[in-house]
Chain A
Amino acid sequence: MAGAATALGGLRGAARFEANTATRDPAWVKGLVLSLSLGFFLLFLLLPLIAVFVEALRRGWSVYLAALIEPDAVSAIRLTLLTAAIAVPLNLVFGIAAAWTITKFDFRGKQMLITFIDLPFSVSPVIAGLIYVLVFGAQGWFGPWLGEHGIKIIFAVPGIVLATVFVTFPFVARELIPLMQAQGRDEEEAALVLGASGWQMFRKITLPNIKWALLYGVILCNARAMGEFGAVSVVSGHIRGVTNTMPLHVEILYNEYQFAAAFAVASLLALLALVTLAVKTYVEWRASQTAQPGEVP
């Protein structure tokens, strides 16, 4: 890597390949590959994104705003914020604890633990909802007991939170584990040798080193928590104004043929997605900035 980069005067990125006769593609190949890949990108990624905003504003700003301040929409937005406000911190704490365990210590069964943490990624969101119905639903394990005590989990807010916690479970841990693995244990050990307490070590050394990955993990976790549809749909019961989150509200409006309103609420979620991607890009840029000065000749 290093040798090739210096041979070409330290060219970075694609320029490195385009300046090298051995890795340069003929112009017509580049043209063909670019038009195929960018055409695909345009059709399958960009167009759906643009469509959301265009459809949302099709009937004008007044309809757009009316759809967002209507009481059911407001309560859906409030529930979505509440759900994320509970699910994200829980998974944040879990993500840090799991990453700390996995990357700073050696123990048996570590590989299995990593696989288990990934499990929610490979489970269909519908099943994620179903499992909580089986545990807490009227016919579930704790259903009768909960019923007696007047506690409602399924078709109520706690169920929505639980399902959301499940589907966003691995996000923070997945961002932290590879980074902390790469950073190793030396800096923490150095802090201890220098007399730092466990908490000082974590706050002054570990946390600053992982803050950008942590931020991105949280943002991604948050986007998924606010946008989750399948799992929440199973446990929500779709009670308007009570157990409807934003994505569920979008579905109801859409099924009632209130397309402009549906897209108006959807556009808020799309904006959230764009913010998430912007943060991701920024975090990656930061990471590359801190990585580059390391290459001292």
Chain B
Amino acid sequence: MSIEVQDIRKTFGRFVALDGVSLDFPTGELIALLGPSGCGKTTLLRIIAGLEWPDKGRVLFDGHDASHRDVRERQVGFVFQHYALFRHMTVLENIAFGLRVKPQGSRPSEADIQRRVGDLLELVQLGWLAHRYPAQLSGGQRQRIALARALAVEPRVLLLDEPFGALDAKVRKELRRWLRRLHDELHITSIFVTHDQDEALEVADRVVLMNKGRIEQSGTAQAVYEHPATAFAYSFLGAVNRFAGRVDGHSLRIGGGAVPLCESNAADGEEVIAFARPHELHILTGEAQQGIPVTVSRVLLGGATARVELTGSAGSNGHAEPQHFEVELTRQQLSDLDLQPGQPVRLTSARLRVFPAARE
């Protein structure tokens, strides 16, 4: 089922949680709503589910207006952040709940319910836990039971609120892969909320990046990562170095130095914010005049690449405090440069991305 939200606005008292959000969720995709806490992503998910009602705007399921449909009638599967498993019911009873509360006419027979619950337990690979209580399960097991429970009613769409938020790092990685595989099997339209960019980029077909109640950017995971549309998108996705400066012809003036600009639509003399990923920065030694002056503070070796931490002078990022930069190098590059802590070097980049300072 496809989902469309149109011009959704939602306020809590004076706080604007969603400010004119419109989105399309095509049938069968797995989509991540990504953003920092308080950006409105969970509110949007709850509005789609019918757990929250918007002040303004519409929710369409397969093109039909579902805005006034009660949560019970929307046929959504919802996995709560803390799972919301019924603590006084066994795993089996939890999964069967949605089937057992169906009105007499449409309720499956007890045998059908048992069979369906059995199938779902097999799907989430936890059949041996059928008679345990939620309190006796680990976090990852609870998560999978919550998912099985949501799937039992054959929802037309699956909504997951921070599905891996409460789990430790190792379990989280496993469950991510498992969710992706499950989605590839079931092909049910799924939306999940997360604040973890790695999670969004790794699991989802498409990523919707949100900030302060608005949509910053939406597209395939790769597109969003490779071509951030806004300063927020750039700084939220992945490690980043940030510069504040002024455009001066074909270069950017930053504090006491300048970095060449290859692509920029900023006007001459404009104050801008510029970003570069750690692997997009270059360290220049010797008598180079290019780039901005910085000092090496630490060299960190780890794995195939090395990281160099550098300190700029105060004011190089528009703040009074000295700024810290991070550069990622190959082992080879590092040994060629032969950096020592305290050594003055210059920093430059061929791939500086520039955004107007006011839009940040």
Contact = CB atoms under 8 A, between A and B. Distances in A.
The answer on direct contact between A and B (beta carbons under 8 Å) is yes
Interface of A: 186-187, 189-197, 200, 204-205, 208-209, 290, 293-294, 296
B138 to A, nearest CB: 5
A205 B149 CA distance: 15
A189 B84 contact: yes
Given A194-B101, A197-B72, A208 B136 contact: no
B239 interface: no
A71 B312 CA distance: 96
Nearest to A190: B84
A194 B98 contact: yes
Given A204-B101, A294-B135, A193 B76 contact: yes
A270 B126 CA distance: 52
Contact of A194 (B51, B82, B135, B153): B153
Greatest chain A CB density within 10 A among B49, B98, B137, B150 is at B98
A193 B101 contact: no
B88 interface: yes
Contacts of B98: 194-196
A39 to B, nearest CB: 41
B133 to A, nearest CB: 7
A193 B82 CA distance: 15
Interface residues of B, number: 29
Given A186-B80, A189-B80, A209 B101 contact: no
A195 B84 contact: no
Contacts of B137: 296
Q: Which of A193, A293, A296 has the most CB of B within 10 A?
A: A193
Contacts, number: 70
Contacts of A194: 97-98, 101, 149-150, 152-153
B101 A197 contact: yes
Interface string B45-67: 00001110000000000000000
A209 B49 contact: no
B218 to A, nearest CB: 25
Interface in B138-170: 138-139, 149-150, 152-153
Nearest to B95: A194
A54 B80 CA distance: 58
Interface string B67-97: 0000110001110101011111000000001
Across chains A and B, which 7 residue pairs bring their CB atoms closest together, nearest first?
Answer: A194-B98, A186-B84, A190-B84, A196-B101, A294-B135, A293-B135, A208-B88
Contacts of B149: 190, 194
A16 B46 CA distance: 44
Given A189-B80, A192-B71, A296-B135, 18 more contacts: A186-B84, A189-B78, A191-B86, A191-B101, A193-B49, A193-B77, A193-B150, A194-B97, A194-B153, A195-B72, A195-B101, A196-B98, A196-B101, A204-B97, A205-B86, A293-B135, A296-B136, A296-B138
B102 interface: yes
A288 to B, nearest CB: 12
B82 A186 contact: yes
B84 A187 contact: yes
Contacts of A290: 87, 135
B199 to A, nearest CB: 22
A187 B87 contact: yes
Contacts of B153: 194-195
Contacts of A192: 51, 71-72
Interface in B20-37: none
Contacts of B72: 192-193, 195-197
A186 B84 CA distance: 5
A293 B207 CA distance: 38
A192 B101 CA distance: 10
Which of B50, B72, B138, B152 has the most A CB atoms < 10 Å from its CB?
Answer: B72
Given A190-B78, A190-B86, A205-B86, A196 B97 contact: yes
Nearest to A296: B138
A130 B78 CA distance: 54
Contacts of B135: 290, 293-294, 296
Nearest to A196: B101
Given A195-B102, A195-B153, A290-B135, A189 B97 contact: no
A9 B246 CA distance: 61
A296 B132 CA distance: 13
Nearest to B146: A190
Contacts of A189: 51, 71, 78, 80, 84
B78 A193 contact: yes
Contacts of A294: 135
Q: Output the residue of A187, A209, A290 with the most chain B CB within 10 A.
A: A187
Nearest to B81: A186
B74 to A, nearest CB: 8
A292 B345 CA distance: 58
